[in-house]
């Protein structure tokens, strides 16, 4: 996909937008319109099916209700039940007469159940909640005062909620009051009704496609019937939402949502009887199959138009930007340091002018680079000569001041000694500065030779650290040294590496205030050793950390804290450690401290004398 980058990609995208985009927009809006129309058609169809099936189920339940109401008023049932209740209460008739009447009523109930197998049980209970007669003799005498059907059917017919039994059958309880116009006692006739015919109604999915199905759900979103080809929505979050809509403010409506593994389009209709909701649904993929075919056709047409636009744009882009690519390569060569090769172009006027400007820039860069090299060489030579010339007089001054302090030329007063000591310390700082400047000059000229030898690094690091212990104690800084317990044979240049280690320790000592803490930890691994110097000093500002290893760099916070210092310590340390094949890293947080870690390998081939270390970063 590299041809889509840069200017060529711009050409191709422009042609694609101007040619294929209009067609794509037309296809998009056509598909959207077709989608809405088809979805509305199926919503209407599903709503009609849901309403039709709900009416059929409701008609079935109402037929059972009418049958029970007819039974309640069928002579001589009310009269026999009245007599039975009175005989039970007062014992007015002989037991044999009571038993015959009881059996006659029970036989009537059995005949009713035999003529309509959907009735599973028929019972009569008075208003006090006592079952006096039942098709199931074991229920007679039972106390049903808390039953909803007894309370609900005292004045009007009661239809219980549709429920699914443990064996999967759908049913409900229907209860009607006894005929209040007869002298029969107040009471209720209740019947359990099995609604097997509901499954036949729901399985007849006329008007639905192969994935279409209808089923019943309860107000809690639970399954009441099993659809013909799956488990439907029941028990999943969107089924519960559908139940809330069906049994809430909306009595009927439609909804679309996702089942566990398929996207459905659904409509629902609440049953007036049975406290249930009938759902009709169909897979969107099946309902929208014509839309899918139309979408594929439009997608293929748009893709072809886009392919043509891309091909045309690619051809034009190659013709236009061939010279630009060549100029880009020339610019890369300039960035890589090739300032001698001219930049030319014979393309159209605009590109030729760009080439001339690039060539002019190359010439200016070449002149600036030569000037910078000359200035850098003169500066390095000047620093080297100046530092070299200063060594002798500074050494002479040091010898003279040391002679005065020793009393070799006579006794001096305390005040004289104090001033001479200050002069001596200042001279020592100048000597160190001159030494650092000479080291930097040798590093940049490649004359900082190394003499590698296998040395015990544990003893080496310990001796240098102990040199600084008196100075740490004098400044009241805790100085911790952690070294391995065994020898550590490592190939390195002791003099050069000592210079690097001292520079890092000097920084930790100088920039940690009284009462602080500095630790030196040396660890080893099969490949080499690691040295970590951590302090609780002033730290380094975050915006200045990238300059840490450049020449003469000192953080703004340490300049205010301590005016002495050259800013060459980490520059020299990094060059020395790099020449050993190692690496150095700094982690710091202003106000909390700094940790410097450097690593060197166990074995390192000695550099030939005069060979320069690895390149160092520019300021």
Average pLDDT over residues 373-386: 64
- 219 versus 210: the higher-pLDDT residue is 219
- Tell me the pLDDT band of 449, cut-offs 50, 70 and 90: confident
Residue 16, pLDDT score: 61
What does pLDDT average to over the chain? 76
Q: Is the pLDDT of residue 532 over 90?
A: yes
Using one digit for the tens of pLDDT, what is the confidence trace for 275-285? Answer: 888 888 887 77
Residue 535, pLDDT score: 92
Q: Is the pLDDT of residue 187 over 90?
A: no
Structure tokens at 348: 């159209």
DSSP strands (E only) in 360-488: 453-456, 478-482
Average pLDDT over residues 524-553: 83
Q: Which residues contact 568 (CB under 8 A, 6 or more apart)?
A: 436, 437, 439, 440, 551, 552
Residue 534, pLDDT score: 94
Angstrom distance (rounded) from CA 522 to CA 536 = 18
Own/partner pairs, 465-473, CB within 8 angstroms, 24+ separation:
465/505, 465/520, 468/505, 468/509, 471/509, 472/509, 472/518
Structure tokens at 101: 């009447």
Average pLDDT over residues 580-584: 89
| DSSP calls for 344-379 | ---S-HHHHHHHHHHHHHHHHHHHHHHHHHHHHHHH
Using one digit for the tens of pLDDT, what is the confidence trace for 384-415? Answer: 666 656 666 777 777 777 787 777 777 888 88
- Tell me the pLDDT band of 3, cut-offs 50, 70 and 90: very low
From 139-153, 404-418, 429-443, the region with the lowest mean pLDDT: 429-443
Q: Which of 125-129, 140-144, 345-349, 468-472 has the highest mean pLDDT?
A: 468-472
- Tell me the pLDDT band of 89, cut-offs 50, 70 and 90: low
* Architecture in CATH of 447-601: 2-Layer Sandwich (3.30)
Q: Is the pLDDT of residue 46 over 50?
A: yes
Average pLDDT over residues 600-608: 66
- Tell me the pLDDT band of 613, cut-offs 50, 70 and 90: very low
Angstrom distance (rounded) from CA 466 to CA 502 = 11
Q: Is the pLDDT of residue 518 over 90?
A: yes
Domain boundaries, the chain: 73-197, 339-445, 447-601
Q: Is the pLDDT of residue 617 over 70?
A: no
pLDDT cut 90: percent of the chain above it: 9
- 22 versus 141: the higher-pLDDT residue is 141
- Tell me the pLDDT band of 239, cut-offs 50, 70 and 90: low
Q: Which fold has domain 73-197?
A: Beta-Lactamase (3.30.450)
From 79-93, 224-238, 548-562, the region with the lowest mean pLDDT: 224-238
Angstrom distance (rounded) from CA 156 to CA 273 = 14
Residue 33, pLDDT score: 75
Angstrom distance (rounded) from CA 399 to CA 592 = 41
* Architecture in CATH of 339-445: Orthogonal Bundle (1.10)
Angstrom distance (rounded) from CA 326 to CA 355 = 10
Residues for the chain: how many in total? 619
Residue 618, pLDDT score: 35
Give the closest residue to 326 by CA, choosing from 353, 355, 349, 361.
355
pLDDT cut 70: percent of the chain above it: 72
Q: Measured between alpha carbons, how far is residue 397 from residues 391, 421, 424, 439 in Å?
A: 10, 12, 8, 22
- 86 versus 421: the higher-pLDDT residue is 421
Q: Are 457 and 492 in contact (CB under 8 A)?
A: yes
């Amino acid at each position: 996909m590299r041809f889509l980058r840069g200017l060529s990609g711009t050409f191709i995208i422009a042609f694609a937008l101007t040619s294929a985009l209009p067609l794509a927009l037309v296809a998009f809006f056509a598909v959207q319109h077709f989608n809405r129309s088809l979805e509305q058609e199926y919503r209407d169809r599903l709503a009609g099916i849901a309403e039709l099936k709900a009416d059929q189920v409701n008609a079935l339940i109402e037929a059972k209700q009418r049958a029970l109401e007819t039974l309640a008023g069928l002579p001589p049932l009310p009269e026999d039940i009245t007599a039975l209740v009175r005989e039970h209460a007062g014992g007015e008739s002989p037991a044999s007469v009571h038993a015959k009447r009881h059996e006659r009523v029970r036989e009537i109930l059995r005949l009713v159940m035999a003529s309509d197998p959907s009735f599973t049980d028929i019972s009569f209970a008075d208003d006090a909640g006592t079952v006096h007669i039942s098709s199931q003799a074991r229920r007679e005498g039972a106390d049903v005062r808390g039953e909803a059907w007894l309370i609900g059917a005292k004045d009007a017919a009661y239809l219980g909620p549709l429920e699914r039994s443990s064996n999967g059958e759908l049913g409900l309880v229907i209860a009607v009051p006894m005929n209040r116009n007869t002298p029969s006692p107040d009471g209720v006739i209740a019947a359990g009704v099995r609604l097997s015919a509901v499954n036949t109604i729901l399985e007849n999915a006329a008007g639905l496609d192969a994935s279409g199905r209808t089923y019943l759900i309860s107000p809690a979103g639970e399954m009441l019937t099993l659809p013909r080809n799956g488990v439907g929505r029941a028990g999943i979050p969107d089924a519960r939402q559908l139940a809330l809509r069906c049994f809430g403010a909306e009595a009927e409506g439609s909804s679309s949502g996702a089942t566990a593994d398929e996207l459905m389009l659904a409509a629902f209709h609440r049953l007036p009887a049975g406290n249930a909701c009938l759902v009709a649904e169909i897979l969107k993929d099946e309902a929208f199959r014509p839309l899918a075919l139309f979408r594929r056709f439009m997608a293929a047409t748009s893709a072809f138009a886009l392919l043509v636009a891309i091909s045309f744009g690619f051809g034009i882009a190659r013709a236009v930007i061939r010279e630009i690519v060549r100029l880009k390569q020339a610019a890369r060569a300039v960035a890589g340091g090739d300032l001698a090769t001219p930049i030319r172009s014979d393309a159209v006027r605009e590109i030729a002018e760009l080439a001339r400007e690039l060539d002019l820039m190359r010439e200016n860069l070449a002149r600036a680079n030569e000037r910078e090299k000359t200035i850098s060489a003169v500066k390095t030579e000047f620093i080297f000569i100046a530092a070299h010339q200063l060594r002798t007089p500074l050494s002479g001054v040091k010898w003279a001041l040391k002679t005065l302090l020793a009393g070799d030329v006579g006794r001096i007063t305390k005040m004289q000694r104090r001033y001479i000591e200050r002069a001596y310390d200042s001279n020592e700082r100048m000597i160190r500065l001159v030494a650092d400047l000479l080291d930097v000059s040798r590093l940049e000229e490649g004359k900082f030779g190394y003499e590698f030898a296998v040395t015990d690094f544990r003893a080496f690091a310990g001796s240098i650290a102990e040199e600084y212990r008196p100075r740490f104690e004098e400044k009241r800084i805790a100085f911790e040294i952690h070294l391995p317990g065994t020898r550590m044979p490592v190939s390195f240049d002791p003099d050069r590496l000592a210079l690097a280690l001292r520079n890092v320790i000097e920084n930790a000592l100088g920039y940690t205030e009284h009462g602080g803490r500095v630790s030196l930890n040396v660890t080893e691994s099969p490949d080499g050793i690691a040295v970590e110097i951590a302090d609780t000093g002033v730290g380094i500002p975050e915006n200045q950390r990238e300059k840490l290893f450049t020449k003469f760099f000192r953080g703004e916070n340490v300049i205010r804290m301590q005016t002495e210092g050259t800013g060459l310590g980490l520059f020299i340390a990094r060059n020395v450690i790099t020449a050993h094949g190692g690496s150095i890293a700094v982690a710091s947080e202003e106000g909390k401290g700094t940790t410097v870690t450097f690593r060197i390998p166990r074995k390192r081939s000695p550099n030939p004398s005069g060979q320069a270390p690895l390149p160092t970063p520019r300021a």
